[in-house]
Amino acid sequence: MDGYGFRSLEKCAECPIRHRAVCANCSPDEFSVLEALKSYKTYAKGEAIAWAEIEMTHLGSIVSGFATLQRTMEDGRSQIVGLLLPSDFIGSPGRATVAYNVVAATEVVVCRFQKPAFEALLERSPAMTHRLLKMTSNDLEAARDWMLVLGRKTARERVASFLLMLAKRTYEDDDGLAAATEATVSIPLSRAELGDYLGLTLETTSRQISQLKRDGVLELVGQRDIHIKDLARLMDETCDDTA
Amino acid sequence: MDGYGFRSLEKCAECPIRHRAVCANCSPDEFSVLEALKSYKTYAKGEAIAWAEIEMTHLGSIVSGFATLQRTMEDGRSQIVGLLLPSDFIGSPGRATVAYNVVAATEVVVCRFQKPAFEALLERSPAMTHRLLKMTSNDLEAARDWMLVLGRKTARERVASFLLMLAKRTYEDDDGLAAATEATVSIPLSRAELGDYLGLTLETTSRQISQLKRDGVLELVGQRDIHIKDLARLMDETCDDTA
DNA sequence: CGGCTGGTTGATCACTCTCAAGCGTGGTGG
DNA sequence: CCACCACGCTTGAGAGTGATCAACCAGCCG
């Protein structure tokens, strides 16, 4: 379907991620340049969007789907170092390669630009540069938050932290999470991937989810969807003060 | 000594971090604006440069010394989520607070700017914005690298990874590390802080250093300086492919 | 129906944490 | 001048959390 399913996206003005992506603050002039340069590509679940140490030819934004950033060791150990959701940016301008693999966790549609062209555009567009700085700085903040999880939290706290983060991201647009007492989230990762994100084995991850279920904090709806019965309780379980 | 010891720094052209800090690509015009706005402040070892959730009045660059970024939990657990070395930038423009404490690990001299003035300047200076984007993106890369250490590595591998990173940073200017077989590094952190950086207890950290010493990989020179006898061996110990 | 994949659960093991004692150095005061 | 204390570091013994290895279960598809 490589592109053909997305004719409606050819106009940036109708793009679903228009107000949150790197192009959020662009002027009409800039949008017309972007529209001329962009192309869409669809990746199947499990497919690599970029590979560590391999030069990237394109940069771009996730339009739909989830992707993971994963760093692996020779002996097979692997750590997911980031999740990409719609509107997140793929690649670092000015850097030829990234140190991790970008893998589609679901089917993913990317709005892509040739790297040199995009970098040239960035040189001339303060709006995009500032937006990208803001996004990068948010990612840095999130990465550092997650370092606390990986370095200091117990297995149960890690799972709780993950579910809470997912709930926040899921409901961030309606910002109803502050008031809500319940929430339902869909986990876009397998237990093995979840373990790689949490720095745990898949068995420990599964056990902690079961335990939280037994303790009445949540309910499983199928294997990928989780209904959080008591959000306040879950927040306690994360042992985290950041509201 | 608040400033008086640094009269020689009043001219940016003579600043020791001039070619690596956020101002690296500034034009002469921009430098004269920076010179008018900047002020120096010295922090004693252990003093807070910024505090989580407390609004920052200034942004700036480390001129000399080391600082740590640390995120703490209510129950006392703490994780160091970054090290700031000379030329590193403190604070995020556009964000009122940061989620971690910035603490001087040694005596630290900071070249500071009032936050609103600096942000206004950044709006008008593509050179600084691009430089800051580059630096932020490097920090993000480093944070993600460290996530692999925290999530997947053993205690011994963590210590080895830390020493190797320190050696790289120490020798990065002479870039002689590629050829070198030995190196001497000075650890700017106590064992407790080191543990907080590695996601270990101070006891485990100490034990692993002793073990590496017993195995002939390194020698202690005092308690803070470490002579790495076999760099290649140390790289093996990190179990990391990134050269 | 049988094999395959992803998830759960169980038993055991090992690594790291916890608690505790001991060591060395540097500073203070009698 | 030296005894004493404080602090940071090291080392030891035992406990606990999560990893490992393995069996089992459910859903899916051929």
Say which of B74, B134, B198 has its CB closest to residue A241: B74
Interface contact A81-B147, CB threshold 8 A? yes
Q: Which amino acid is at B43?
A: Y
Beta bridge partners of A89: A61
- On the question of pLDDT at A7 being above 60, the answer is no
Instruction: Give me the pLDDT at residue A243, please.
Output: 55
Average pLDDT, chain A: 92
The answer to whether A131 CB is within 7 Å of strand D is no
Residue range B99-127, pLDDT digits in tens: 999 999 999 999 999 999 999 999 999 99
Percentage of chain B modeled with pLDDT above 90: 84
Instruction: Give me the pLDDT at residue B1, please.
Output: 43
Separation in Å: D15 C1' and A208 CA = 21
| Pairing of β A58-64 and β A39-43 | unpaired
Instruction: Give me the pLDDT at residue B170, please.
Output: 85
Separation in Å: C16 C1' and B220 CA = 23
HEC per residue, B179-237 = CCCCEEEECCCCHHHHHHHHCCCHHHHHHHHHHHHHCCCEEEECCCEEEECCHHHHHHH
Separation in Å: C13 C1' and B211 CA = 22
B146: number of Cβ within 10 Å = 27
Interface contact B129-A134, CB threshold 8 A? no
Give me B128's structure tokens: 């600084």
Average pLDDT over residues B135-153: 97
Interface contact A150-B199, CB threshold 8 A? yes
Residue B48's H or E segment, with its range, is: strand B48-50
- Residue A119: closest CA among chain B residues belongs to which residue? B130
Tokens 């004693």 found at:
B44
A105-109, A178-182, B4-8, B16-20: the lowest-pLDDT one: B4-8
Interface contact B198-A99, CB threshold 8 A? no
- On the question of pLDDT at A68 being above 90, the answer is yes
What pLDDT band is residue A94 in, cutting at 50, 70 and 90?
confident
Strands (E) in chain A, as ranges, are 39-43, 48-50, 58-64, 67-72, 78-84, 89-90, 101-104, 108-114, 183-186, 218-221, 225-228
Residue range A33-60, pLDDT digits in tens: 999 999 999 999 999 999 999 999 999 9
The answer to whether A158 CB is within 7 Å of strand C is no
A200's CB contacts (< 8 A; 6+ apart) are A155, A158, A208
Backbone torsions φ then ψ of B141, nearest 5 degrees? -60, -45
Give me A114's structure tokens: 């040739």
What pLDDT band is residue A242 in, cutting at 50, 70 and 90?
confident
Say which of A82, A136, A145 has its CB closest to residue B99: A145
Instruction: Give me the pLDDT at residue B169, please.
Output: 87
Backbone torsions φ then ψ of B153, nearest 5 degrees? -95, 155
Separation in Å: D27 C1' and A10 CA = 40
pTM for the predicted model, two decimal places: 0.94
A78's CB contacts (< 8 A; 6+ apart) are A70, A71, A72, A196, B152
User: Residue closest to C5, CA→C1'?
Assistant: A190
Environment class of A183 (CB within 10 Å of its CB; exposed 0-12, middle 13-18, buried 19+): buried
